[in-house]
Structure formats: C-alpha cells, structure tokens
Amino acid sequence: MKTTTIRQAVIIPADPEQVYRGFTNPAIHSAMTGGKATGHAEVGAEFTAWDGYITGRYRRLEPHRRIVMDWLTSEWPEGARASRLELTLAPAAGGTRVILTQTHVPADQAPNYQTGWQESYWEPMAAYFKAQASR
C-alpha cells in the first residue's frame, strides 16, 4: 500500500500549554472539537477522538512542546499500520505554532485527512480559544 506524509504548520491563538492540553485532555478536546474524546495523557495509553472515529496511542509526551502518537481512523485500510503523528508546539506571534508531521498515511486517504486537520481541528481550535480568550 502506498503511503504518504502530511506536513502542516498552523498558528493557534492560544499559548503552548493550552494547545497541549487541548490535544491531551479529553474533556478539553471534546469541548474544542465537538466530538467525544477519551483517554489520558500517558506514554503507552490509548486515546480516542471524534466519537471513536480516531483511535491511537501516545508514544511520546513532552508537556507543552511535543506529542507523538500512533493515529488511525475507522476508515483505515484493513491490516495497515497506524500513522505516526508528531505535533511540535512553540510560542509564536499570535499564539502557538503547531507543526504537524504525519507519516505512513494511506496515500489515497491523505487528501481527506489534509482537509480534516483544517476543518476538524484548526478551525474549531481557533474558534474555541478565541471564545475562551473573550470570556
């Protein structure tokens, strides 16, 4: 099966600690995305997001700086290995610069996930943190 890598860099209007918690705290993740998330931030622990559409396992956690996880969806090809998703966080003008590198993504599904990151994460995250800031 042909696989590919997704590379995106985005500015989220929140500090790195908030963004880190947004990815690793299921209650915040659920509020942020609108889809239920489960799990806890511990290396080796499993997590789910978007009502079980996304499942995975934390591989490396560097608080407020870096998250590495195995990541796949319910649409993943039968028998295919999970993708490896790495998120690095750094302070930047306007918030936090999130660099996403996702390897071993099934090539024929990659366009869906490229759009999915934007529509299902970056947009709701930007809206969520802007709303939090205005409270």
Query: Which residues form the interface with other proteins (CB under 8 A)?
Result: 4, 6-13, 92-94, 97, 110, 114, 118, 122-123, 125-127
Q: Within 10 A of 43 (CB to CB), how many other CB atoms are there? A: 11
Compare residues 38 and 114 and give the one whose CB is closer to other proteins.
114
Compare residues 1 and 9 and give the one whose CB is closer to other proteins.
9
What does the alpha-carbon distance between residue 13 and residue 133 come to, in Å, rounded to a whole number?
A: 9
In the complex, the smallest distance separating the C-beta of residue 11 from other proteins, rounded to whole angstroms, is: 4
Compare residues 55 and 120 and give the one whose CB is closer to other proteins.
120
In the complex, the smallest distance separating the C-beta of residue 90 from other proteins, rounded to whole angstroms, is: 10
Using alpha carbons, list the distances in angstroms from residue 49 to 68, 87, 102.
15, 16, 16
Q: Within 10 A of 14 (CB to CB), how many other CB atoms are there? A: 23
